[in-house]
């Protein structure tokens, strides 16, 4: 099956990842790709980080018992990664084998709800060109926090609302080589763009519940956006709302898209695209929080035994 259009056409490979017998992702919060095109699948099963080569062969797992609810992956340029756990209320900088190098937040101890203090169900992490750390926070806050490379809190911005610089579930975050900060403001149906100190610049609004962001590091990069699609029954079957993946240029102009309403388990369709990454060949890996989304989309129906949570889209 081929999906997409123009320069962004893909062959769907839903059976790409070869899990060991008896293993399951349950659902996938985030995906990362290293410089060798090995793929890191941060999931909510019994093995939180499962690593594959680009052909889908299992390499290793780690993090067992250490990550209550996997949410976000950010791959740093120095072969480390930042893992954001919204259930544990922490961010960890780790090696590619899972050794913890830096921890932000206190595991299991959330800040008060909507206090603005880090963290209450933080969602994702990004790095500035200088190595400063941005954390989107999240479900129980409406903030972005900026840290020094060694973990000192420098500043925070944002509050609940719908205005410029306000958030309604700040769900993901990216930074480009020029230092601009891109924030998925999910329930306000937009991506907001800020300078490195939180000054509002612009927003992209041709989106529906943007959930996952991936931006290849560089100047004027394109941005891959996973849109989780309608949650309310009244709009669940309306066309052209997702769930889908949209690809936009550095000014937010739509240049590619695949997936559509209604949500589904068919090849190439989505239930809830949540985290995504792109490898050196332009192939897109899309992780879904299918287990969580299923009862919202199909209330009263039991979860299927083979509910899919990861698809690979091979660029053609």
Helix (H) or strand (E) holding 291: helix 290-297
Non-local (6+) Cβ contacts of 240 within 8 A are: 260, 261
Express each pLDDT in 143-160 by its tens digit. Answer: 999 999 999 999 999 999
Model pTM? 0.96
* 8 and 315 Cβ atoms separated by less than 8 Å: yes
**pLDDT tens per residue across span 13-29:** 988 999 999 999 999 99
**How many residues are present in the chain?**
316
Alpha-carbon gap, residue 165 to 138, rounded angstroms: 14
Q: Give me the number of domains the chain comprises.
A: 1
Whether the predicted pLDDT of 208 surpasses 90:
yes
The span from the CA of 304 to the CA of 129, in Å, is 43
Domain residues for 292? Answer: 2-315
Residue 104 above 90 pLDDT?
A: yes
Which of 276, 252, 129 has its CA nearest to residue 195? 129
What pLDDT score was predicted for residue 6? Answer: 86
Question: At 30, which CATH number?
Answer: 2.120.10.30
Render pLDDT for 262-316 as a digit per residue (tens, 0 to 9): 898 888 899 999 999 999 999 999 999 999 999 988 889 999 888 999 999 999 9
């Amino acid at each position: 099956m081929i999906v997409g259009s123009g320069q962004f056409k893909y062959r769907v490979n839903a059976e790409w990842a070869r899990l060991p017998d008896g293993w399951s992702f349950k659902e996938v919060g985030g995906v990362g790709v290293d410089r060798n095109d090995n793929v890191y699948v941060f999931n909510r099963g019994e093995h939180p980080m499962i690593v594959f080569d680009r052909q889908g062969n299992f390499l290793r797992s780690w993090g067992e018992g250490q990550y209550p609810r996997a949410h976000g992956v950010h791959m740093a340029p120095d072969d480390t990664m930042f893992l954001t756990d919204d259930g544990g209320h922490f961010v960890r900088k780790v090696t590619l084998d899972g050794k913890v190098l830096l921890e932000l937040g206190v595991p299991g101890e959330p800040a008060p709800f909507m206090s603005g203090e880090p963290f209450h169900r933080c969602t994702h992490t990004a790095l500035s060109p200088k190595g400063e750390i941005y954390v989107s926070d999240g479900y129980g806050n409406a903030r972005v926090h900026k840290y020094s490379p060694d973990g000192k809190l420098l500043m925070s911005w944002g509050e609940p609302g719908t205005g410029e610089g306000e958030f309604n579930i700040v769900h993901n975050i990216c930074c480009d080589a020029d230092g601009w900060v891109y924030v998925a403001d999910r329930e306000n149906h937009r991506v907001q763009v800020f300078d490195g100190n939180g000054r509002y610049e612009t927003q992209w609004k041709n989106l529906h519940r943007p959930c996952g962001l991936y931006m290849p590091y560089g100047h004027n990069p394109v941005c891959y956006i996973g849109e989780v699609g309608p949650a309310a029954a009244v709009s669940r079957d309306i066309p052209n709302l997702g769930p889908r993946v949209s690809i936009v240029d550095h000014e937010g102009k739509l240049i590619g898209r695949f997936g559509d309403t209604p949500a589904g388990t068919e090849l190439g369709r989505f239930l809830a695209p949540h985290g995504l990454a792109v490898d050196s060949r332009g192939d897109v890996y899309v992780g879904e929080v299918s287990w969580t989304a299923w009862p919202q989309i199909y209330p009263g129906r039991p979860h299927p035994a083979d509910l899919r949570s990861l698809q690979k889209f091979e660029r053609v």
